[in-house]
Structure 1
């Protein structure tokens, strides 16, 4: 289990206006849940937010990187994107981006319940 960092604790405090935030250790990093919806990954003190067809263009337009990891010599990319730099300097901007990730998580959860 990775050790909790000051950055992770800061994120949990900053994201609290979205709902009940919970961090769960996973794969050497952390998964963030808001009201039990998995909406973000924290790895190496970087926040990655869930993206889908409805919000991916906003992340791409900012030129931010998707979350990727190596497995058996190949790079795998997930549909979670890092934040623009401005989001770390302004709580309102951070919450606006986090809300995009949370909404994507809610859409994914609703879709899986319909299936």
Structure 2
């Protein structure tokens, strides 16, 4: 099932403190971009995740953010460069935008 317009609006509202914000549909969810750089994804099941690399990985670990992994039948588990947003940031646009801006500095 694809995301609803309300769910997409919620993501845009959460990240309203991020400049040049846009979204693109992908696999039933959306990619979230700032100035053309993807920094987050929202899966069709409603999980919102921030992209991370470099110095952001220890930061996400310190926040106890869970890394997104998936496993295809008959294959080993694969870790993706995305971490599930902390619950506190899902309801606090300032915290969500702060994390997003910090993540963008490392992409």
Bin for the TM-score computed over the shorter chain: 0.7 to 0.9
Q: How many residues align?
A: 105
1:81 aligns with 2:83: yes
Counterpart CA distance in 1 for 2:57 and 2:15 is 20
TM-score normalised per structure 1: 0.77
Q: Which has the higher helix share?
A: 1
RMSD over aligned Cα, in angstroms? 1.9
Q: Which has the higher contact order (CA 8 A, sep 6+)?
A: 2
Counterpart CA distance in 1 for 2:15 and 2:91 is 14
- Change in CA separation of 1:5 and 1:45 when aligned onto 2, cut-off 3 Å: farther
Partner of 1:95: 97
Q: Describe the SS at the equivalent of 1:56.
A: helix
Contact 1:18 1:95 (8 Å CA) reproduced: yes
Shift of 1:5: 4.2
Counterpart CA distance in 1 for 2:100 and 2:74 is 31
Shift of 1:4: 3.2
Residue ranges of structure 1 left out of the alignment (5+ in a row): 106-115
Residue ranges of structure 2 left out of the alignment (5+ in a row): none
Contact 2:49 2:84 (8 Å CA) reproduced: yes
